[in-house]
Chain A
Amino acid sequence: MTDQPERDLEKALADYAESMEGTPPPGFADWVMRSVDTEPLPRRGLIASLALLLRVPGPYRFAAQVALVAVILVAGVGSAVAIGQISGLLPDQHVVTSPSPEPSQEPQLSPSIEPSPSLAEPSATPEETDDEGGPAESGAAPSEEQSETPRPSETPKPSETPKPSETPEPS
Chain B
Amino acid sequence: MAEAAWHDAGMDDRATVDAVLAGDRDAFRLIVEQTQGPVFRACLRVLGSVADAEDVAQESFVTAFRSLGTYRGDGPLSAWVVRIATRTAFRRRSQRRPTTDLDAAHGVAGNAPDPLTSTIADERRAAIRSAVAALDEPYREVVALRYFGELSLEEVAAATNRNVNTIKTQIRRGLQRLAADVGQDVAL
Report Cα–Cα, A51/B17, bound state, in Å: 14
A39-B37 Cα distance, complex, nearest whole Å: 23
When the two chains form the complex, which single residue of A3, A23, A24, A43 contacts B21, counting CB atoms closer than 8 Å?
A: A43
* Contact segment of A6-14, A65-73, A161-169: A6-14
A20 and B45 contacting across the interface, CB-CB below 8 Å: yes
A44 touches B21 (CB 8 A): yes
Which chain A residues lie closer than 8 Å to B143 at the CB level?
A: 13
A153 within 8 A of B: no
Q: What separation, in Å, do the CA atoms of A13 and B121 have in the docked complex?
A: 13
Of the residues B25, B109, B179, contact of A33 by C-beta under 8 Å: B25
Q: Given contacts A6-B176, A31-B58, is CB(A37)–CB(B25) below 8 Å?
A: yes
The count of chain B contact residues (Cβ–Cβ below 8 Å) is 52
Q: Specify which of B68, B74, B150 is in contact with A42 (CB 8 Å cutoff).
A: B68
The verdict on A45 contacting B186 (CB below 8 Å), with A16-B128, A17-B45 known, is: no
Q: A22-B108, A48-B72 are in contact. Are A39 and B50 (CB under 8 A)?
A: no
- Least CB distance, B75 to chain A, in whole angstroms: 12
Number of interface residues of A (CB under 8 A): 39
Q: Is A47 an interface residue (CB 8 A)?
A: yes
The answer, among B23, B175, B188, for a CB contact under 8 Å with A41, is: B23
Partner of A13, one of B23, B25, B62, B147: B147
Complex: A37 Cα to B109 Cα, angstroms: 34
Q: In the docked arrangement, what's the CA distance between A57 and B150, Å?
A: 32
Interface of B toward A, CB cutoff 8 Å: 20-21, 23, 25, 28-29, 32-33, 36-37, 40-41, 44-45, 48, 50, 53-54, 57-58, 61-62, 65-74, 108-109, 121, 124-125, 128, 132, 143, 147-148, 150, 172, 175-176, 178-179, 183, 186-188
List, sorted by A's number, 26 A–B pairs whose CB atoms are closer than 8 Å: A5-B179, A9-B187, A10-B175, A12-B187, A13-B132, A16-B124, A16-B147, A17-B45, A17-B148, A17-B150, A19-B108, A22-B50, A23-B40, A28-B36, A28-B58, A29-B32, A31-B58, A33-B29, A35-B62, A36-B28, A36-B61, A36-B65, A41-B23, A43-B69, A47-B72, A51-B73
